[in-house]
Amino acid sequence: MPKQKTHKGLKKVLTVAKSGFIKRGKVGGSHNTGKKSAKHNRNLRKGSTLSAGDKARFKKLDIMK
């Protein structure tokens, strides 16, 4: 049986920390930032972590290497 291939789109977006949780960026910060408040743009720069339910789903896509 062939090996499960890594999902290349997710590999470019998510990173796995050494402690095991998955880090992701926030959406909406790449364009049209002039009309958003400075506080909103500042919060978009900070990363976020993946929820437990999403982590279980993404384990199947083989990004946990």
Domain presence at residue 3 = no
Domain presence at residue 64 = no
Question: What is the distance between the alpha carbons of residues 57 and 64, in angstroms, rounded to a whole number?
Answer: 11
State pTM to two decimals.
0.65
**Which two tokens mark 41?**
């743009």
Domain presence at residue 17 = yes
Q: What is the pLDDT of residue 63?
A: 67
Domain that holds residue 13: 8-28+35-59
Q: What is the pLDDT of residue 57?
A: 84
Let me know: does 48 contact 26? Beta carbons within 8 Å: yes
| Coil/strand/helix, residue 22 | strand
Number of domains making up the chain? 1
Q: What is the pLDDT of residue 15?
A: 87
Residues of the chain short of pLDDT 50, as ranges, are: none
Q: What is the pLDDT of residue 64?
A: 64
Question: What is the distance between the alpha carbons of residues 30 and 28, in angstroms, rounded to a whole number?
Answer: 6
For residue 37, report the phi and psi dihedrals to the nearest 5 degrees.
Answer: -70, 160
